[in-house]
A and B are shown apart, each in its own frame.
Chain A
């Protein structure tokens, strides 16, 4: 049982971390809640189903195609819809929510509401210390670690990363220093969508695919970034593993766990926030403090 909890926590936490990281990046830089974020996760998972199952492409090609197409859709969405109303925060929230519904309905029309499954990229399992871990789960974990590493290097070492962090700290000053803010926002949207796409691609073979699948990580991602501290990269990763652990633990230990897992995870978030109102790693900006 303990090994099950550990493996599930790592796999779930990794996927949540990728999703929360992208959401948190967009919020940190553009200060908007981009509610269609998990819709891209759903689109990428359906991409795998289409390319690998229906067209029969090799895993490598279907993964590449799915991530590139999803990221393209994300950038297009930003340019066409979000960029024009960026100043009105409530409107951005609502437009992205409506877009999530649009994507879900389009998938429902194209692929119907039937439950689908994508073929596994690799089969078999590996036993360490008598614990069977499927290669698929190892692939997810490895993929998550590599992507997190790339993001860390990107944000801390490259010129683009420094520009992104400067924009997150103070948009106007960054603009005055010669950073093209709208390009940075577009880049962030691209990175965030790509992260959601990677998450969707990695878990696609382990999930039942249906167009409403975007709502189950939706609430969790919100809870994770709130727990970790809005706009904090470290916070979203740590928060993801904490809440994934809580969720898995509740499912394993309580008889009615499947109903209560979300409730307990959210309760943990509320309790943490009562003691630390800015989340675990959140930064309180002087002007925003009361």
Chain B
């Protein structure tokens, strides 16, 4: 049993450079507090972890259904406002503790995902993309018009902390991030023997009509993508509200929706690890650029443009394609220096 597990681990993780790097990276994330405990660095990483969940959930919805979602902030904002209202409690019912308010906020975001999906069942391609743009902005208008419930510009403040120390916050965010990313990665893994959704979502993305002809209810799977993506984006939103201890209109703004797109496309769309790489490069970079405040956005946008000109499929996908080679016969992934496949010894050239 144990030796079989070890063998699987060796074949499925150690032998594939991309997964090995991911493993090393996740282990490093746990070790970081051993090297530095500066609150500023921990804070940056906590935000990066939340935005990883957010960006990966964008990739889950948009990359895999091929519907560019311009309004991803809707899930984030709905969850942030819901958990904030539940947690604050005072004028409208009891005070909800944090372990209840975040999941309920995420469920509210899931409901928003279903609502957003209703037009998606009739619309296709760019039409859907442009309609999704509308939802968070409509909600934003409602929030500004009803200041007595939502606090308007100021938002809802005075929420509970996630925990009492920065260290605990950090570990909670790392754990939730790893679990969420792993679940979403597994759900979209086309080679998984465990769940079928991965291969079906890939089929829908490649050719929706062919997928329908093969008997796949594509509408059901699109709904599934919106529900799962909405739920995880909601988790990120709830965490964000409790970490900032405020849920304001910035959680619904266009900028946040576009951030998700920038991180994901920069890292590599339709890959799940792409947005992880994107956030961990771009978010700390953005923090670092605070040393030159006037040129911060300019440098940021310039880097995005230049990288994408030379790696149009995203930086993570570009690196992966350099490092891994798929066996033409048995479709197993091999390291770039091998000349023959590690399983069937077919030539890789």
Contacts and interface: CB of A to CB of B under 8 A. Distances in A.
Interface of A: 27, 33, 81, 84-85, 87-88, 90-91, 93-95, 97-99, 101-102, 104-106, 108-109, 215, 219, 222-223, 225-226, 230, 256, 259-264, 266-267, 269-270, 273-274, 277-279, 282, 288, 290
Interface in B231-275: 254, 258, 261-262, 265-266, 269
Given A91-B308, A215-B254, A274-B122, A263 B138 contact: yes
B231 to A, nearest CB: 23
Interface in B113-153: 118-119, 122-127, 129-131, 133-135, 137-142, 144-145
A237 B305 CA distance: 32
A98 B261 contact: no
Interface residues on B, range: 35 or more
In order of increasing CB-CB distance, the 9 nearest A-B pairs are A263-B141, A266-B134, A105-B298, A259-B144, A101-B301, A226-B130, A98-B301, A94-B265, A256-B145
Contacts, number: 134
Contacts of A104: 297
Given A222-B133, A226-B131, A263-B138, A97 B298 contact: no
A95 to B, nearest CB: 5
Given A85-B308, A85-B309, A279 B127 contact: yes
B292 to A, nearest CB: 11
17 contacts: A85-B312, A90-B265, A93-B68, A109-B294, A215-B254, A219-B133, A219-B137, A219-B254, A226-B130, A226-B131, A260-B144, A262-B137, A269-B134, A273-B123, A277-B122, A290-B209, A290-B212
B133 A88 contact: no
Nearest to A91: B312
A93 B138 CA distance: 23
Nearest to B145: A256
A262 B133 CA distance: 12
Contacts of A263: 137-142, 145
Contacts of B301: 98-99, 101-102, 105
A223 B208 CA distance: 26
B298 A223 contact: no
Query: Which of B140, B266, B309 has the most CB atoms of chain A within a 10 A radius of its CB?
Result: B309
Given A102-B298, A274-B119, A225 B141 contact: no
B313 interface: yes
Interface of B: 68, 70, 118-119, 122-127, 129-131, 133-135, 137-142, 144-145, 208-209, 212, 254, 258, 261-262, 265-266, 269, 294-295, 297-298, 300-302, 304-305, 308-309, 312-313
B2 to A, nearest CB: 44
A267 B134 contact: yes
B130 A259 contact: no
Contacts of B295: 105, 109
A152 B313 CA distance: 38
B124 A288 contact: yes
A226 B128 CA distance: 9
A222 B135 CA distance: 13
Query: Which of A98, A104, A262, A282 has the most CB atoms of chain B within a 10 A radius of its CB?
Result: A98
Contacts of B138: 263, 266-267, 270
A24 to B, nearest CB: 11
A36 to B, nearest CB: 11
Given A33-B126, A256-B144, A277-B122, 8 more contacts: A85-B312, A91-B308, A94-B262, A95-B304, A95-B305, A101-B300, A270-B119, A277-B127
